[in-house]
Amino acid sequence: MSRRPRLLLVYPASHKLGWVKRFQLPPLALKQVAAATPPEWEVLLADEVQEQIDYNGDYDLVGITAMTHQIVRAYQIADRFRERGVPVVLGGIHPTVLPDEAIGHADSVVLGEAEPVWAGLLDDLQQGRLQRFYQQLPEGNQLNIPWSRTDFLEPRQYLTTRTTQASRGCPYNCPFCTVTPHFGRTFRYRDPEDVLAELRTFKPGLMVFLDDNILGDPQRAKPILQGMVGMGLKWGGQANLRFAEDPDLVRLLADSGCVGIFVGLESADGEYANHPRPPAAPPRPI
């Protein structure tokens, strides 16, 4: 009987983190790619922050995600696998912004979100018709994604493996951020019941929302927060500071188990902060 096809997902390490790696979160992008992978595939993870990559393994495809600070290392890893004849797919924000650069180190590049195109990409690979670029632009205000997989992770390597997203995108257009210029102003939430059903599978303790702006639309976030009351989850995420103007929302955050919100301050200079910015460019079609 022939073996199952094998997919290796790689998270490159741009530098050695030492003891800090104990506070690392697992790469959500690869958890989502794993969730979008058909069950006939065997999925393996090589998180280079935690472990060495086995370049001699028997793989049918290697998928690598990379931000800009990781991209030099990602290209080195990709080149080594391709020298062995193993096909490589690159994704993440850097390949999305510079796909023509990334394709020089890969057989295919995924621009933007992987979930909508991943099963088709794998089918194309098996049929010998892998395309150079894959992209499906987001539409509407509803986010439909599978629950991320954690079964292929080693929990002891991470601060917590309980990470998820309730939304994607952001309603703002901050000059320092890549979200709006390269994905447009599309801001989508998952159905609150879907989010809460996933959260009920988590054991009590720490979990993290990895949304760009979990409170970007407070009215859509509130049903999720209300449903979290009493779950026993302690959670953190990132948002803009406007939530602090609503005392009821702040109380709801505390009741839902929130222990920290990461915020970004673009500038303390009011004149610069209010400087108008040109409208965001539309997402790049392929």
| Mean pLDDT calculated for residue range 159-181 | 86
**Res. 177: pLDDT tops 90:** no
| Mean pLDDT calculated for residue range 131-154 | 92
As given in the structure block, the two tokens for residue 90 are 């690159």
| Mean pLDDT calculated for residue range 92-115 | 96
Judged by average pLDDT, the poorest of 11-15, 16-20, 221-225, 254-258 is: 16-20
**Could you tell me the sign of the dihedral formed by the alpha carbons of 271, 272, 278, 281, in that order?**
negative
pTM of the model: 0.88
CA distance 29 to 167: 14
**Res. 1: pLDDT tops 90:** no
- The more confident residue out of 64 and 270 is 64
Q: Please give the pLDDT value at position 185.
A: 74
Q: Which domains does the chain have, with CATH numbers?
A: 6-135 (3.40.50.2300), 162-262 (3.30.750.210)
Q: Please give the pLDDT value at position 122.
A: 98
**Res. 139: pLDDT tops 90:** no
CA distance 74 to 62: 11
Q: Please give the pLDDT value at position 268.
A: 67
Element (H, E) at 222: helix 218-228
CA atoms within 13 A on the CB side of 230: 2
Q: pLDDT tens across 60-82, in order?
A: 999 999 999 999 999 999 999 99
Confidence grade of residue 266 (pLDDT, cut at 50, 70, 90): low
| Mean pLDDT calculated for residue range 84-110 | 97
| Mean pLDDT calculated for residue range 179-191 | 83
Confidence grade of residue 7 (pLDDT, cut at 50, 70, 90): very high
CB of 212 closer than 8 Å to CB of 168: yes
Confidence grade of residue 210 (pLDDT, cut at 50, 70, 90): very high
Q: Please give the pLDDT value at position 172.
A: 82
